[in-house]
Amino acid sequence: MPFVTVGAVRLHYEESGSGDAVVLVAGTAAAGRTWRLHQVPALVAAGYRAITFDNRGVAPSDPARPGLTVDDLVADTAGLVERLVGGACRLVGSSMGAHVVQELLLTRPDLATQAVLMAGRGRPDAFSRALAAAERTLYDERVQLPAGYDAAMRAVQNLSPRTLQDEQAVQDWLDIFEMAAPDVTDAAVRPQLDVDLHTDRLGVYRRISTPTLVISFADDLVAPPVRGRELAAAIPGARYAEIRDAGHYGYLERPEAVNAAILDFFAGRAG
C-alpha cells in the first residue's frame, strides 16, 4: 500500500497510467477511490497519469486532528504533488477538494498547469452555513441517524431528480449510502467538517492566473450553479460548464459528460 509523507502526515495514494500527471482531490470524508470508478479510467485512456489520494482524516491516511484548516489540506496536496510529480501538474477537485485546489492556485501557482473545480463556490450563503453546521452538530452530539433515513436524506441532498426517479439507479444509490453511513463517533473525520468557506473569497480569487474550468451541476443543492457561475466569473479567463440532470455527486451521476468536459479542457478544445 503506497504512502507519501508530507511534513508529519502520511497520505495514502494510488496512481495509474503514464504521461502528464493529473492529481484528483476528493471532497469531505470521501476516499480517493471514488475517482477510480469513472474519472481515472477516462484519464488513463486519454494518456494521462492519474493520481488519487485520501485526505488526512480518511483511512488509511493519517487521522485529522481538531483545528484542521484548508491551509493544512493545501499543504498536504502541494507536498504530495512535489514528491510524486516533482513539478507542476493538472489538478481536479470536487466540493471540499475544489476549495483546496482554489486555495492552492493562490499560494502555489507553480504547481498547477490547469485546474478543474467541480461543485465549488467562492463564498458561503445561508443554506451552506446551515448545512455545514447541521453536519457538525450530528458529530458533536453523537447523533447516529438510522442508516435508512440517513441514506434517503443523502440521496435527496446529493442526487438529481432524474436519478431519484430511476427505480434501479436510486435503489443502487440508497444501498451504497446505507452501507457507507457516517460513523459520528469517528473523531478522525470530524475535523474535515470545519474546512468550509467561512468568508467571501471571490475577490482574492481574481488573483488566480492558472487556466481553470469550473463545472457546476444543474441540480446541485449543496453548491448550486449560481455559486459556480460566480466562481468562474471571479477567476480571470475561467471557463464554465454546467452538467444537466446531475446533483452534487454529478461526477458519479453523469461521468461521461463530466469526463468529456475535463478532457476537452485539458486538450484545449472549445467547450
Give the DSSP letter string of 44-62. HHTT-EEEEEPPTTSTTSP
Closest CA to 118 of 227, 9, 204: 227
What whole-number distance in Å separates Cα of residue 262 and Cα of residue 236?
18
Q: Are 122 and 230 in contact (CB under 8 A)?
A: yes
**Active site amino acids:** 95, 220, 248
Closest CA to 174 of 183, 184, 182, 164: 164
Between the CA atoms of 58, 59, 61 and 65, what dihedral angle is there, to the nearest 10 degrees?
Answer: 60
Compute how many other C-beta atoms are within 10 angstroms of the C-beta atom of residue 118: 29
Q: Are 85 and 164 in contact (CB under 8 A)?
A: no
